[in-house]
Amino acid sequence: MIGRPARRTLVLGGARSGKSSYAEQLLRRAREVEYVACGLPADGGDPEWADRVALHRDRRPASWRTVETVDLVGVLGRPGPPVLVDCLSTWLARAMDDCGVWAEEPGADERLAGAVDDVVAAWAGTRRRVVAVSNEVGSGVVPATVSGRRYRDELGILNARVAAASQRAWLLVAGLPQRLK
């Protein structure tokens, strides 16, 4: 990247595409980074997830602080060092659950739309340098379930809105970064 680094960068890719590693490379020169893990807590009872979290932590510098939260609005709204959000895909899954989408609770769609609007507004307005990772959707197999298709559709919308509010967007294919914006 020539010149000043972009303040808001989205890194998309499929499973095991290298998107997280590439996002980390974009912030490698920062003395400290707030690494926001939006998934389940590492000690949440899922050994495979805990192993993945441990691998991610092991490859990051000791000066990078891991924060396990889904409060992206709060993180993006406060001052601090650069932020790496990993990832919007897991944030959305948690948001859909927290809003009651899967339980088909009354008002769930409106709550989810509000949560997405709030995150996109925080992303667009942040004063911090931020890199977010998300799974690219739409080029793979159509999910076999209604809930899978709903998640895919919501993630596609979220990715498009975040990309529109980003200065840079990258797509990782087989470990190779392709600049989209």
Query: Which residues participate in catalysis according to the annotation?
Result: 56
CB 123 within 8 A of CB 164: no
Q: Are strands 176-179 and 83-86 parallel, antiparallel or unpaired?
A: unpaired
Instruction: Write the secondary structure of the chain as one string of H (helix), E (strand) and C (coil).
Output: CCCCCCCEEEEEECCCCCHHHHHHHHCCCCCCEEEEECCCCCCCCCHHHHHHHHHHHHHCCCCEEEEECCCHHHHHHCCCCCEEEECHHHHHHHHHHHCCCCCCCCCHHHHHHHHHHHHHHHHHHCCCCEEEEEECCCCCCCCCCHHHHHHHHHHHHHHHHHHHCCCEEEEEECCEEEECC
Nearest residue to 64 via CA among 89, 38, 91, 29? 29
